[in-house]
Structure 1
Amino acid sequence: MKLAILQPTLIPDLHDLATMLAVDTIVYQDSEQWSRKGRTHRALIRTPEGTDYISVPVLTTDKKKPINEARIDHSRDWINPLLRALKFNYSNSVYYDFYEPEVRADIETGHNFEYLLDYSLFLRKRLFQFLELEIPAKIKFSSGMKEYSSDPDKLAKRMNAEIYYQEHDARHYQRQGKQRSDLNFSHPEYRQHFDGFEPWCCLYDLLFQYGPESFRIFDELV
């Protein structure tokens, strides 16, 4: 059995997607402590200068709580700046006008969510619908697992995993297992709306630029 041990992300990137597609089971570590260094509340987008983050603020009182207990700070105006960032950086993308109304409505729905995890799962579901993506792997949340251990090696052993992967470049906020494997992943280069190519952008980058043709990039992941 192949296992992925990941933290929930606000918007997945191509490495996240490749990992999800490569395994039989995904464990989302929603019971681990929230970290500002992680990607549970932010996502990388393409900008004229390179890349930058869009983000959702977390209540100061919740910043030492588990990920699944972290609440969105609705006292701050975060939705309008997030939408402006997408418009400023993606309005010239091929499929921006096509997807913008629905993406905007999804982001504005954030007003209705108290918990960050619920909101990020909603955004992921909607994004995967736009991209016509299906993840065959079984998904588990650590908060509901009796066999869960924050030690990745112990967790993999308890789940009888022959191989397990973790989130990329996550050593500052995700405990790294000694027996983890590195995914055979070479980041696909694709046409972005600014000169040059910046890897690790979230899947909004691909959606606005490629839309229904995104499958051509996904085919390079498997």
Structure 2
Amino acid sequence: MLLSIFQPECMPWLGLIDKIRQADSIVFLDNVQFKKRYFENRNKIRTKEGWLWLVVPVVTKGKFEQKINEVLIAPEPRWKHKFALSIERNYCKAPFWKDYGQKLLSVIDKEYEKLVDFNMSIIKFIMDCFELKRSCIMASELNTSSKGSELILEICKKMETDNYLSGRDGRNYLDLSAFEKNNIAVRFQNFQHPIYKQIHEGFLPCMSSVDILFNCGAESLKIIEESQKNNL
């Protein structure tokens, strides 16, 4: 079993979707510290002018070490309206808006108290659209007690996997000798960003994965797969 472990990001980019594509099972790392100004409560969408941050407002005042699964969405009554309107305005003329647009807006419009629930709802929506059926579990369900590289190793052992798919940055912090001692092989993702036709002129990489969904529809996963063939 090939396992991948990562934070439940907000409307994640294609690199994270590629991890899901490659893995057999996913553990969403929801019990680690929330990082401000990162991708846990925001991501980018394409606009005519370039790109735009979409941000979920969260409660952070006085909560310096809160975990991702503890982060509350701030009580700003119009944030979902603004969030959804930005998506609709910039993608309503995209080729596959009619197939996925209103479905995504319905997911956004649900009631959420915690950021992790909002993020996971959109991740599951994207997985369904890409027909990525994977075993998924939250790290908080595994009763872990470690940090850093030891946490990743502990999760791998609890999940009884012998293959772990890491992001390329894992080379900077994973204790590979500890994985080797536990007979767990570590693979590093070498994601090559696909180039595809966007509704707006030119191509900008590293947008939210909804960008390829609205522009390429059912061909999205195939486009991602084709771009990774040189990595095999």
User: Do the two structures share a fold, i.e. TM-score over 0.5?
Assistant: yes
Aligned partners of 1:53 and 1:181: how far apart in 2? 31
Correspondence for 1:187 among 193, 197, 214: 193
Q: Look up the match of 1:104.
A: 105
Q: Does structure 2 retain, via aligned residues, the 8 Å contact 1:3–1:156?
A: no
Unaligned runs of 5+ residues in structure 2 are 177-185
Could you tell me the TM-score, scaled by structure 1's length?
A: 0.82
Q: Look up the match of 2:17.
A: 17
Q: Look up the match of 1:65.
A: 66
Q: Look up the match of 2:125.
A: 126
Correspondence for 1:135 among 133, 140, 147: 133
Q: Look up the match of 1:34.
A: 34
- Stretch deviating more after TM superposition (188-197 or 31-40): 31-40
Q: Look up the match of 2:115.
A: 116
Q: Look up the match of 2:4.
A: 4
SS in 1 for 2:192: coil
What is the Cα-based RMSD across aligned positions, in Å? 2.7
Q: Report which of the two structures shows the higher radius of gyration computed on alpha carbons.
A: 2
Q: Compared with structure 1, are the counterparts of its residues 149 and 3 closer, same or farther at alpha carbon in structure 2 (3 Å cutoff)? A: farther
Deviation at 1:120, TM superposition (A): 1.3
Higher share of residues assigned helix? 2
Deviation at 1:114, TM superposition (A): 0.6
Q: Compared with structure 1, are the counterparts of its residues 108 and 163 closer, same or farther at alpha carbon in structure 2 (3 Å cutoff)? A: closer
Q: Does 1:210 align with 2:209?
A: no
Aligned length: 214
Aligned partners of 2:221 and 2:26: how far apart in 1? 22
Q: Does structure 2 retain, via aligned residues, the 8 Å contact 1:156–1:164?
A: no
Q: Does structure 2 retain, via aligned residues, the 8 Å contact 1:147–1:155?
A: no
Q: Look up the match of 1:177.
A: 174
Q: Compared with structure 1, are the counterparts of its residues 36 and 50 closer, same or farther at alpha carbon in structure 2 (3 Å cutoff)? A: same
Q: Which amino acid aligns with 2:152?
A: L
Deviation at 1:178, TM superposition (A): 5.0
SS in 2 for 1:191: coil
Could you tell me the TM-score, scaled by structure 2's length?
A: 0.79
Q: Deviations over 1:12-46 (max 9, x none)?
A: 22111111222343222111111113322112211
Q: Look up the match of 1:88.
A: 89
Q: Give 1:147-162 correspondences, 5 Å limit.
A: 147=144, 149-153=146-150, 155-156=152-153, 159=157, 161-162=162-163
SS in 2 for 1:144: helix
Q: Which amino acid aligns with 2:136?
A: I
Q: Deviations over 1:32-65 (max 9, x none)?
A: 1111133221122112232222111111345631
Q: Does structure 1 retain, via aligned residues, the 8 Å contact 2:41–2:115?
A: yes
Percent identity over paired residues: 26
> RCO higher in 1 or 2 (8 Å CA, sep ≥ 6)?
1
Structure 1 runs, 4 residues or longer, greater than 6 Å off: 168-171
SS in 2 for 1:189: coil
Aligned partners of 2:17 and 2:7: how far apart in 1? 13
Aligned partners of 2:190 and 2:146: how far apart in 1? 25
Q: Deviations over 1:103-149 (max 9, x none)?
A: 2222111xx111111121112222322x242233x333221223452
